[in-house]
Amino acid sequence: MASEVEKKAVFDIDSAKEVVQELRASFVAGKTKDYEWRRTQLKAMLKMMDENEPQIVAALRDDLSKPELESSIYEIAMLKNSCKLALKKMKHWVMPEKAKTSLATFPSSAEIVSEPLGVVLVISAWNYPLLLSLDPVIGAIAAGNAIVLKPSEISPATASLLAKLVANYMDSSCIKVVEGAVPETTALLEQKWDKIMYTGNGRIGRIVMAAAAKHLTPVVLELGGKCPVIVDSGINLQVATRRIIAGKWGCNNGQACISPDYIITTKDYAVELVRLPVYVYICNLVLFNLSSQALFILQVDSFKCELERFYGKNPLESKDLSRVVNSNHFARLLKLLDEDKVSSKIVYGGERDKSNLKIAPTILLDVPQDSLIMNEEIFGPLLPIITIDKVEDSFDLINSGTKPLAVYMFTNNKKLKEKFVEKVSAGGLVINDTTVHLAEPTLPFGGVGDSGMGAYHGKFSFDTFSHKKAVLYRSFAGDAPLRYPPYTNGKLRLLKALLGGSILGIIRALMGWSKA
């Protein structure tokens, strides 16, 4: 017993080495490559979630005060879907892909074979501690790897639960959970992995990649950024508002990498804080020909209306909002909110409850571009609205910053949509909604530039944890002497023709009719 306690107390470089050695031995023995093993593990994961839903929901409530619906849907249901998709499609994913061959290598046949990379490390984040831990693991298992999962210590209840459940349900000689904080992560990063997938922030992302560089380990970095929402005129403002709210406060209270971070809309719609007029409900249905002045009032009103409808008059007491994860982040968010030039711009909300780590949904209007809140990823329940002259100006504004993980735009203008899709660079774009692209397994989910590198979800998860090995089958027939020395002009002519790919050229060369 004592030695077990000691073992648990210190996970250092030697412990990390041992773990990797054990997993490598399992991998080399072929355990994880076996197709049936992969299926069994995925089924075990499904069972694990089916049989432990209440415990998972409780852990997420402990760590984040996450509402039951968010836990059930955005963590558990999404994971189960991901598992089921992998189980259903895996037999196609593992099949080699035929590749075309050209005249230059005739006769031959070619294919691309997927093979596991080996022993992989998945480091996940605290805001969706179950989803961001197990979704990559699903891809890694489907691809046939051995895995170490390092959940975030900032969501400790979920991390412990994961460690316990994975040990009980899955094959611990091939899949392990290592709990801990910076020292444990550092010990893990010193080891040689065949792939590292990290979800989190850019600062740690750089550290992960630098550590990976020592071993030439490829990495996937799912980072963040400020995801803007562009709101155009001539739209159904009520629906747009509700979708923005769902993506912002409905996703772990703004603490999600793809949450709308801030809104960009035109000055014509710039907002004045007005009371809640009742006519808003009716007018929202007939929006298209309203004057911009009216729309101007309606936008913030729309938010206020819907926010109250969703969370009540006292959002600090609503059970449908997650809390801010811990006091560090709480202090960080207050710093953003209480900055002099920003605190005067609050048009809705701003209330806070330090003992319960809650901040009410807060909207700010026209905060200065050089304020803190506009220069770091908010990751919380504060929503600045900034205004510009023309809606097209938003594209340049967004492109002038670092590339975000996602950009959202609400518009009915077809030309604007086309321009948006073409001009704005981001991990992913959604038109007339927010965040839902996450649930679309046929779309690769990942960042670009500062928002990360690599992608996953669906088959992309399988691919990201695979090596695509090129295979060329040649026969002994058709051995052209022109390949071999001694090199002559005649061979040069023939080679040129062969590489040029035209049958006529080859005939001419054979006949001696082409120039060297």
Partner 1 sequence: MEKSIAKLRETFKNGGTKSISWRKSQLKALLQLINQNEDSIFKALDQDLGKSPVESYRDEVGVLKKSVTYTLSCLEKWVAPKKAEVPLLFFPAKAEVMPQPLGVVLIFSSWNFPFTLALDPLIGAISAGNTVLLKPSDLAPACMSFLVETIPKYLDNKAIKVVAGGADIGERLLQLKWDKIFFTGSPRVGRLVMAAAAKHLTPVTLELGGKCPAIVDTLSTTPSKAKVTAKRIVGGKWGPCNGQACIAIDYLLVEEKLASALIELLKKTIKRFYGENIKSLKSISRIVNEHQFQRLVNLLKDPNVADSIVYGGSVDEEKLVIEPTILLDPPLDSEIMSEEIFGPLLPIITLKNIEESINFINSKSNPLVIYAFTEDETFKKRILSETSSGTVTFNDSMVQFLCDSLPFGGVGQSGFGRYHGKYSFDTFSHEKSILHRGFYPEIEPRYPPWTDFKLLFIKLAYEFDYFGLILLLLGFKRS
Name residues contacting partner 1, limited to 324-363 (CB under 8 A): none
Q: How many whole angstroms separate alpha carbon 74 and alpha carbon 439?
A: 9
Strand order of the β-sheet with 146-150 is: 175-177, 146-150, 119-123, 195-199, 219-222, 452-453
Between helix 292-311 and helix 237-248 the angle, nearest 10°, is 40
Q: Which residues of 479-495 are buried (b: 16+ CB within 10 A; e: fewer)?
A: eeebeeeeeeeebebbb
Q: Is 174 a catalytic residue?
A: no
Q: Is residue 250 within 8 Å of 301, Cβ to Cβ?
A: no
Q: How many whole angstroms separate alpha carbon 386 and alpha carbon 409?
A: 14
- What's the min distance (Å) between Cβ of 440 and partner 1? 6
Q: Residue 351's CB: how many other CB atoms inside 10 A?
A: 13
- The two tokens of residue 398 are 């967004």
**34 is a contact residue toward partner 1 (CB under 8 A):** no
Q: How many whole angstroms separate alpha carbon 77 and alpha carbon 49?
A: 9
- What's the min distance (Å) between Cβ of 281 and partner 1? 14
Amino acid symbol at 119: V
Count CA atoms within 13 Å of residue 283 on its CB side: 20
Which among 222, 227, 305, 306 is annotated as catalytic? Answer: 222
Q: Find the part of the chain contacting partner 1 (CB under 8 A) among 134-142, 167-175, 334-342, 472-480.
A: 472-480
Residues in binding contact with partner 1, number by CB under 8 A: 108
User: Can you say whether the dihedral through the CA atoms of 206, 212, 216, 218 is positive or negative?
Assistant: negative
DSSP 107: S
Q: How many whole angstroms separate alpha carbon 463 and alpha carbon 471?
A: 17
- What's the min distance (Å) between Cβ of 245 and partner 1? 7
**Nearer CB in complex with partner 1: 174/367:** 174
Binding mask 144-183 for partner 1 (x = CB under 8 A): ----------------------------------------
Amino acid symbol at 383: L
**Nearer CB in complex with partner 1: 212/325:** 212
Candidates 421, 504, 507, 512; binder of partner 1 (CB under 8 A) is 421
Please tell me the total number of residues recorded for the chain in this structure: 516
Candidates 77, 163, 334, 388; binder of partner 1 (CB under 8 A) is 77
Name residues contacting partner 1, limited to 290-309 (CB under 8 A): 306, 309
**Nearer CB in complex with partner 1: 43/326:** 43
**288 is a contact residue toward partner 1 (CB under 8 A):** no
Which among 174, 251, 257, 305 is annotated as catalytic? Answer: 257
**384 is a contact residue toward partner 1 (CB under 8 A):** no
**504 is a contact residue toward partner 1 (CB under 8 A):** no
**37 is a contact residue toward partner 1 (CB under 8 A):** no
**Nearer CB in complex with partner 1: 287/365:** 287
- What's the min distance (Å) between Cβ of 134 and partner 1? 16
**430 is a contact residue toward partner 1 (CB under 8 A):** yes
Q: Find the part of the chain contacting partner 1 (CB under 8 A) among 132-140, 362-370, 383-391, 439-447.
A: 439-447
Candidates 25, 87, 113, 274; binder of partner 1 (CB under 8 A) is 113
- What's the min distance (Å) between Cβ of 305 and partner 1? 12
Q: How many whole angstroms separate alpha carbon 39 and alpha carbon 473?
A: 30
- What's the min distance (Å) between Cβ of 343 and partner 1? 27
**21 is a contact residue toward partner 1 (CB under 8 A):** no
**484 is a contact residue toward partner 1 (CB under 8 A):** yes
Candidates 31, 33, 332, 419; binder of partner 1 (CB under 8 A) is 33
Name residues contacting partner 1, limited to 217-236 (CB under 8 A): 218, 221, 223, 235-236
How far the first Cα of the chain sits from its last, in Å, is 81
Count CA atoms within 13 Å of residue 446 on its CB side: 20
- What's the min distance (Å) between Cβ of 270 and partner 1? 23
- What's the min distance (Å) between Cβ of 423 and partner 1? 9
**Nearer CB in complex with partner 1: 243/345:** 243
**427 is a contact residue toward partner 1 (CB under 8 A):** yes
Q: How many whole angstroms separate alpha carbon 495 and alpha carbon 516?
A: 10
Candidates 101, 172, 173, 186; binder of partner 1 (CB under 8 A) is 101
- The two tokens of residue 40 are 């069994």
Closest CA to 147 of 183, 184, 127, 173: 173
User: Which residues on adjacent β-strands are paired with residue 46?
Assistant: none
User: Can you say whether the dihedral through the CA atoms of 150, 58, 135, 448 is positive or negative?
Assistant: negative
**67 is a contact residue toward partner 1 (CB under 8 A):** yes
Candidates 483, 504, 507, 512; binder of partner 1 (CB under 8 A) is 483
Candidates 136, 205, 260, 380; binder of partner 1 (CB under 8 A) is 205
Which class for 286: exposed (0-12), middle (13-18), buried (19 or more C-beta within 10 A)?
Answer: exposed
Which class for 162: exposed (0-12), middle (13-18), buried (19 or more C-beta within 10 A)?
Answer: buried
- The two tokens of residue 282 are 């009716």
Candidates 87, 110, 290, 316; binder of partner 1 (CB under 8 A) is 110
Binding mask 118-137 for partner 1 (x = CB under 8 A): x-------------------
**Active site residue ranges:** 222, 257
